[in-house]
Amino acid sequence: MEAIRYNGYVPDSDGKWICFMVQDERFFVDVTGFPVAHFIYPFSLDQNLNLENLQLATDRLPERIIMGRAHIDDDKQGISFFVDGIERNYGHFRDSLNDYIQLLYETRKRHRALYEELEEEREKRKIPSFANTKQTILS
């Protein structure tokens, strides 16, 4: 928790998870599996999203970013972005915290871009192409 305070954030802990806010966004860190630290960036899901493409984007995310991954909650109400790191000492954790946060932001950004690409493909499949269609107009 000191490493989080050192970086200017106010941590809170329930014994397993450490929670802190960055620009009104909540982040969680699980360090119970030391030296592995799990950094989590959760969101509620908009009910208007296409869950099929959202899951496909989640499955394809490792093709776009190495360390980041995503998971859709079983109840389909939320999505979380994850980054894992091996933190052998306090100094490295302290110095790397903002890098992990940036990696979580980048993971979310790439997931969103992948989802939007899939949605665009879906829209193209729905709209028939009339480019090569010729029709005689009778007057």
Per-residue pLDDT in tens (0 to 9) along the chain, 139 residues: 888 999 999 999 987 889 999 999 999 998 788 788 899 999 999 888 999 999 999 999 998 898 899 999 999 999 999 999 887 777 888 899 999 999 999 999 999 999 999 999 988 888 665 555 555 556 5
Helix (H) or strand (E) holding 20: strand 17-22
Phi/psi at 104 (5° precision):
-65, -40
The pTM score is: 0.83
Burial environment of residue 68 by CB neighbours within 10 A (0 to 12, 13 to 18, 19 or more): buried
